[in-house]
């Protein structure tokens, strides 16, 4: 009987000790490194967070931290509940007064020198999330999880993302690569904007078993001449949509254009539209962007 009570005592003591230890760990200052290589020391788990990037907001909400988000940028529109959060302008035109009123423990922001300098001058604790590749997205999700005490949820999200990407990689491993041109903005059909080798879009095209005809050009967002497009003769054209699902060019406009109408992708009707947020925001939904890309490039895999 004494042994039984002794065991119960040990179990209870261990639980209390782990709880106390956990609280102590959370209250100890910890130094983290952001994507600019800046070291930021955070003394406790932040309770009031401001987000200056749509992808950052998506990470926070995916981690279940919506109650701790007290302000978001004008462009933070996903999930729908993010639209209800107080707006603090955007990285290029921030409302510093609004941020001061919100009194955040932590500001998570994108790379924007003027904004970052202002935050630094005012003494805000802030971290810059600016991933360069897919692995960088994983690191940022992990980093935010560590800072906010949601490591386990962050690990689950990353594991799910990697599993989905691995399945897609296996599915397209033996598929024939198809020449693809991605239209970011074709307001000027003679010199459209596209995604170069420094973009997430280029990485997703490659992972989807496609060949981005602009992949040789360095830079995330570049203008590609009509002559270059014609000489590459893409088999597939993808147009991104933004702001309510509206593209900068329609399928009819491409078909009715003398030069564009002669390209293989246009003649064969291989023109598709993808939500640009899914393929350009470095957050959890990048996997959805990859899945949409595969459906366009290799629809036979889904038959």
Percent of the chain with pLDDT strictly greater than 70: 91
pLDDT tens digit sequence for 147-159: 999 999 999 999 9
- The predicted model scores a pTM of 0.88
Domain with residue 180: its CATH number is 3.40.50.1980
The tokens for 242 are: 């933004």
Res 18: pLDDT: 42
Q: Are residues 146 and 204 in the same domain?
A: no
For residue 189, give its domain range.
Answer: 176-302
Residue-wise pLDDT for 47-98, tens only, equals 999 999 999 999 999 999 999 999 999 999 999 999 999 999 999 999 999 9
Nearest partner of 132 among 34, 274, 276, judged by Cα: 34
Residue ending a domain, among 93, 124, 157, is 157
Based on the fold, state whether residues 81 and 115 are members of the same structural domain. yes
- What is the helix, strand, coil percentage profile of the chain, to 5? 50, 20, 35
Assess whether 34 and 153 both reside in one domain.
yes
Do residue 85 and residue 136 come from a single domain? yes
Tell whether 85 and 133 lie within a shared domain: yes
Residue ranges, the chain, pLDDT below 50: 1-4, 6-7, 9, 13-25
Q: Note whether residue 13 is domain-resident.
A: no
Mark out the alpha helices in the chain (DSSP H runs).
2-27, 54-62, 96-102, 113-121, 134-148, 151-172, 200-207, 226-232, 251-256, 264-267, 276-280, 286-297
Instruction: Report the domain count for the chain.
Output: 2
**Would residue 8 count as lying in a domain?**
no
Same domain, 151 and 183: no
Residue 127 in domain: yes
Q: Do residues 136 and 202 share a domain?
A: no
């Amino acid at each position: 009987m004494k042994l039984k009570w002794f065991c119960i005592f040990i179990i209870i003591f261990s639980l209390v000790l782990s709880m106390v230890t956990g609280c102590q760990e959370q209250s100890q200052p910890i130094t983290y490194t952001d994507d600019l290589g800046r070291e930021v020391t955070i003394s406790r788990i932040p309770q009031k967070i401001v987000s200056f990037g749509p992808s950052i907001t998506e990470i926070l909400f995916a981690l279940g931290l919506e109650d701790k988000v007290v302000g978001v940028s004008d462009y933070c529109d996903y999930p729908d509940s993010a639209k209800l959060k107080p707006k603090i302008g955007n990285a290029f035109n921030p409302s510093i007064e609004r941020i001061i009123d919100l009194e955040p423990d932590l500001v998570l922001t994108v790379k924007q020198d003027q904004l970052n300098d202002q935050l630094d001058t005012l003494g805000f604790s802030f971290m810059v999330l600016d991933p360069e590749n897919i692995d960088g997205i994983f690191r940022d999700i992990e980093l935010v999880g560590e800072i906010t005490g949601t490591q386990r949820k962050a690990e689950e999200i990353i594991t799910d993302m990697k599993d989905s990407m691995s399945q897609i990689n296996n599915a397209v491993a033996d598929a024939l690569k198809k020449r693809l041109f991605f239209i970011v903005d074709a307001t000027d059909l003679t010199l459209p904007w596209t995604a170069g080798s420094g973009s997430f879009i280029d990485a997703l095209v490659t992972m989807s078993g496609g060949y981005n005809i602009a992949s040789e050009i360095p830079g995330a967002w570049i203008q590609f001449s009509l002559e270059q497009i014609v000489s590459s003769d893409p088999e597939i054209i993808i147009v991104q949509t933004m702001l309510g699902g509206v593209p900068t060019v329609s399928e009819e406009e491409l078909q009715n254009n003398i030069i564009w109408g002669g390209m293989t992708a246009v003649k064969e009707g291989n023109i598709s539209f993808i939500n640009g947020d899914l393929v350009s925001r470095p957050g959890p939904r990048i996997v959805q962007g990859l899945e949409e890309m595969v459906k366009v490039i290799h629809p036979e895999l889904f038959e």
